[in-house]
Amino acid sequence: MTTSLPFETVDAFTAEPFAGNPAAVLVFPLAWPPALQQLARDDALMQKIAAEFNLSETAFCVELEGGSDKEPSYELRWRTPTEEVPLCGHATLASAHTLFTSHHPAAKAISFHTRKSGVLRAIRNPPSPDNPSSALRISLDFPSASLVTLSDGHRRLPKILAALENATGLGEADVRRVAWYDAWEAPVIELSHTSTPLAALDVRVSALASYARLWILTQPSPEEGYDIHSRVFAPAVGIDEDPVTGAAHCALAPFWLLDHESAARLPGGGSEARSAMALRAKQVGKRGGDMMVVLDEEKRRVELRGQARRVMNGVIEL
C-alpha cells in the first residue's frame, strides 16, 4: 500500500519565485493518524527524503500538543542532503510561510521547538498600510551567535587565511577582520571593500571543505539600499554555496554591529545601522535574497525579517 506525504517547496528571503533560498517543507499535523505522524521519527527515512529533494535544507514540522489557534506549536528539524543541522534560518522561514498560509491562516505566531537551538518563534507581521495586499512578511526570533575575533597569533588564523587564498586568490591584505563562530565551526571573514566585490568573486569551493563546516564571507555593501553583502559556503555538509543563510546572519549581526571599527566601515559610517542595531542585508550568490536583521544585544537575540514564496507542492509516495 502506498503512503503519500504532502510537501511544499518554498523560496525563502525573497518575494519572487526562483530567487532566494529554496527549502522543502513536510508538515505532520496532530489530526493525522499516529502511524503517519510516527513516520517523522524515522530518521533514516527522513534523511533519504532530504537527499531525494537535494536542496540545501528540508524541514520537518511535527505538530505538538499544547498549541493554540493563535500560536500553534511544532517540533522543527532541518536536514541537508547529507545530515541534520542544529539551526537553519531559510527553512524556518519556509516552514512558517507554509504553516501560516496552508495550515493556520488565523495564527499570529508559531512556536518551533528545536533540539539544539531552543524555542524559536515566527511572527506574522501586519501588512504595510500603504500596500495591504503585499506579500506576507514574517519575523523570526533566533539566538545571536557568540563570536571570537581572531587576532594575530591566534592558532586558527593562518589556516583560515591559507584556505581562503587557496580558494579565492585573496591574500591577507584583502582581509579586514576574521571572527570564529564556534556553534557552526565557521570563520566569519570581512573582506576589504577595495578588493573584488563579493558578487563577482570566483570561489574554488573544494578548497574550503577541509577546515571549517561553514564559511561566511562579508563586505560593506557597494549597492544602495543595503548595509552588507555576504556569501556562505558549506561543502563540508553537502552544500557548495548556500543562496541565503539565516543562521549566518545570526553571526553577521554581532560581527558588524558590536565592533565599532567594522561598523564604521558600513555605508554612511554605520551611524544609522548602529543607532537602530539593524542591518539591511543581501546575500549575493547566483540566486540572491535579502532580509532585515535586528540585534537585541541585551537578550542576545536576532530578529530576521523576510518574505517567502511557495513555488511547488505535491506528494511523496512511499
In total, the chain counts a number of residues equal to 318
Residue 172 CB contacts under 8 Å (≥ 6 apart), including other chains: 161, 165
Report the C-alpha gap between 227 and 292 in whole angstroms: 10
**Pick from 229, 233, 232, 231: nearest CA to 256:** 229
Q: Are 160 and 149 in contact (CB under 8 A)?
A: no
Residue 181, CB-side half-sphere exposure with 13 Å CA sphere:
23
Phi, psi of 297 (to 5 degrees): -65, -40
The 3-state secondary structure of 14-76, one letter per residue: CCCCCCCEEEEEEEECCCCCHHHHHHHHCHHHHHHHHHHHCCCEEEEEEECCCCCCCCCEEEE
Residues belonging to the active site: 57
Residue with cell 563570536: 147
